Structure 1
Amino acid sequence: MRYLPAAVALVLLAAACGTDDDTTEAAATAGDHPVTVENCGVDVTFDAPPERVVLLESAPATIMHELGVLDAAVLRAGAFPEEYYDDETNAAIAGIESLGEDLDTSGHLQISQEVIIAQQPDLVMGLPDGITREGLDGVGINALMQPVYCPEGVDATTFDDVYEQIETYGQIFDRADEADALVSDLQDRVAAVEAAAEGAPERTAAVLYPTVGGGSGYAYGNRSMAHPQLEAAGFSNVFGDVDERVFEVSLEQVLAADPDVLILLYVDGDPAAVKDAVVSLPGAEDLRAVQNDDILVQLFNFTEPPTPLSIDGLERIAEQFGVSP
């Protein structure tokens, strides 16, 4: 998982693109192996369900747990904040050997490809800096990255990308029935929030990623998972006319947009410091969201990449701002 430094005192995960039908599609019938999926324009073939998985990002853990295959993860690296998961999932994650949680100041996982190869996994999930698909494939190790982070060939992100990712995992791990049940449940949850938001007063919102300590920053446009999240909760994205997943933004741009609500994302650390990084900026006191304290600070994976955590994040937004079912 990649990250960019980040404006309004903001930092954020690496710019990469939204997902579309070409990004991760299963080319075989669920339950059949070998199974071939397309991931970021590359065909990845699984002769059998993976049994030694290395997690180099936190996002897949929820899907794997819900499908009953998290026990296939034998190693992990990077941050897995407990706030993302229920007690059972946290206990399972705690039982997975950690190769380290070293992140640099911009949120990049620091680990060498040689360390990963030495563990002899059959699947690596996540490709942080220094780990390449080609390097792993050369020694017979499959790799998958979140479609939203593909470098090209992707489009605007929607909730369908959550469902497609679950279905892909269901085929890879031979858990198609469990995947179908999970998708149905998530669709019902999204529909419930959308129904609750109908008829609510129109409000605007911006999703930002603040950098504690200052620096440039980013906001989320109409290709990000933040955009359908806001729409489902009844908000208009003040940067919805920006045809980008994420882009550098200035405080002046945020002041000009003056959203009713601010949603601030972060990778780890103190959420109070993340909020302070924005509200303490010169001029931020003029923002109506700051004046009314209509600010939600939440961990990054509650928005991106598209996973069941994105639906958890949607419900958190709805609850925080009074549109809960």
Structure 2
Amino acid sequence: MPPRPAPPHPVRPRRRAVLAGLLAVLGLGATACGPGPSAPVTAGTGYPVELSNCAATVRLERAPERIVLLEPAPAAILSGLGVLDRVVARAGAFPRSCFDEATSAQITAIPTLSEELDATGHLQINQEVVIAQQPDLVIGLPDGLTREALREAGAEVLVPTSFCGAPAERASFTALHQELTAYGRVLDRAEAASALGAALQERIDAVTASAAQRRTATAAVLYPSVGGGPLYTYGATSMATAQLDALGIENVFAATPDRVFEIGAEPLLAADPDLLIVLHQHDGEGEDVAAGMIDADQLASLRAVQERAVLPLLFDTVEPASPLVVDGLERIHGWLLDREG
């Protein structure tokens, strides 16, 4: 699970064998999961569905009925498509402030398999625990899980395409529409996906139009590891760059094609951006995360720090591509308007 700072998520899953008699041993079958869909799920007219996802082929014979959610941001897509009730289990950090009250309550009611994250924000979970939920679709592929083992257990995997590795082109909101289209196909909600995309595009266009007169500014988007570990920043293929582009702001590290990469204090001090956006993963304002990063990496001399132009922001409102990145875009824009008076 995210962040997905370093390395681009996921690239080196550890292979595990699927244990025989697993469900009986763990005692975690269908009865241990949350409520199923409120209405019967039919095969739909567009099945089987086959699509490419992170260089793998995903094939579903019918609309998924039992989803295990190992990434928080796709919950916003599932909610927007009206299928969040198909999620039978979740794992990771799902900050309540990322979602509206009704969605947050629905997410909270879903049984949790693990909330353990490592220092860089990646989910820690055993494959066997996921398989025990008898999913037909798993969203997310943290280290320790493989497509092959999950497919053998009857589940296909969708990885947020932002985490598939560095694409060839600079990130844009096209990635959001492509993600919505894919989920609409997989979940038999193509019309709902189209409507959701149109509504989100209206919001993107409104921010872009409002920001058109903004003076040129520069920014860096940073993710500090928990406990004083490495500092990461985001390059051309990150949705952070798509957001900054829409706001008329230059990402000082957009010349780097990587989505995310480790950075030291020296190049950051040399770039000296006008604005800093500091990502974090848990509810709260995140000011403590930003302050800890500034102290640990000796960044107090940055103009952005001295001028208090530092915005803590929830990670999932920046990456991966989901409706939450539009929330993040509006959050950054509102903060800038407040600063500009």
Alignment TM-score, normalising by the size of structure 1: 0.88
CA contact under 8 A between 1:62 and 1:308: conserved in structure 2? Answer: yes
Who is 1:200 aligned against? 214
List runs of 5+ in structure 2 lacking aligned partners: 11-43
Residue identity opposite 1:150 in structure 2 = C
1:279-294 alignment, distance < 5 Å: 279-281=294-296, 283-294=298-309
Work out the number of aligned pairs and report it: 305
Deviates more, 1:309-318 or 1:36-45: 36-45
Cα distance change on mapping 1:282 and 1:50 into 2, 3 Å? closer
1:59-96 alpha-carbon deviations (Å, 9 max, x no partner)? 11000001000001011111111011001101111121
Alpha-carbon contact 2:6-2:261 (below 8 Å) kept? no
1:284 CA displacement: 2.2
Matches of 1:117 and 1:283 in 2, distance apart?
A: 44
Counterpart in 1 of 2:8? 15
Cα distance change on mapping 1:14 and 1:87 into 2, 3 Å: farther
Q: Secondary structure at the match of 1:259?
A: coil
Name which of structure 1's ranges 112-121 and 207-216 shifts more when overlaid on structure 2.
207-216
| Rounded Cα–Cα distance in structure 1 between residues aligned with 2:227 and 2:92 | 22
Instruction: State the SS of the aligned residue for 1:15.
Output: coil
- Quick one: which amino acid aligns to residue 219 of structure 1? T
Tell me the alpha carbon deviations over residues 221-277 of structure 1, each in whole angstroms, 9 at most, x when there is no partner.
Answer: 111111110011121111121121111111111111111100001122761221112
RMSD of aligned Cα (Å): 2.0
Q: CA deviation at 1:114?
A: 1.1
In the alignment, which residue of structure 2 is the partner of 1:140?
154
- In the alignment, the residues of structure 1 paired with residue 298 and residue 108 of structure 2 have an alpha-carbon distance, to the nearest angstrom, of 43
Structure 1 residue 285, shift from structure 2 partner: 2.5
Query: What do residues 45-70 of structure 1 show as CA deviations (whole Å, max 9, x unaligned)?
Result: 11111110000111110000010000
CA drift at 1:14: 3.9
Kindly indicate whether residue 41 of structure 2 is the aligned counterpart of residue 33 of structure 1: no
The 8 Å contact of residues 58 and 79 in structure 1, kept in 2 or not, is answered as yes
- Deviation at 1:3? 4.5
The answer to whether the aligner puts 1:50 opposite 2:43 as a matched pair is: no
Q: 2:6·2:232 contact (CA, 8 Å) conserved in 1?
A: no
Instruction: Give the 3 Å change call, closer, same or farther, for CA 103–212 of structure 1 in structure 2.
Output: closer
Query: What's the CA shift for 1:281?
Result: 4.5
> Following superposition of structure 1 onto structure 2, how do residues 42-81 of structure 1 map, counting pairs within 5 Å?
42-81=56-95
Contact 1:16 1:245 in 2 (8 A): no
Which residue of structure 2 lines up, in the alignment, with residue 23 of structure 1? Answer: none
Partner SS for 1:99: strand
- Pairing partner for 1:265 from 279, 283, 288: 279
Matched residues in 2 for 1:96 and 1:89: separation? 11
Aligned-residue identity in percent: 46
State the 4+ residue runs in structure 1 displaced beyond 6 angstroms: none
What residue number does 1:305 align with? 320
Distance (Å, rounded) in 1 between the aligned partners of 2:248 and 2:169: 22
| Range with bigger deviation, 90-99 or 58-67 | 90-99
- Residues 152/287 of structure 1: CA separation in 2 closer, same or farther (3 Å cut): closer
1:96 is aligned to 110
CA contact (8 A) 2:6 2:260 kept: no
Residue identity matched to 2:117: L
Cα distance in 2 for partners of 1:91, 1:202 equals: 40
Question: Could you give the per-residue CA deviations for residues 109-131 of structure 1, whole angstroms, max 9, x where no partner exists?
Answer: 22111111111111111111101
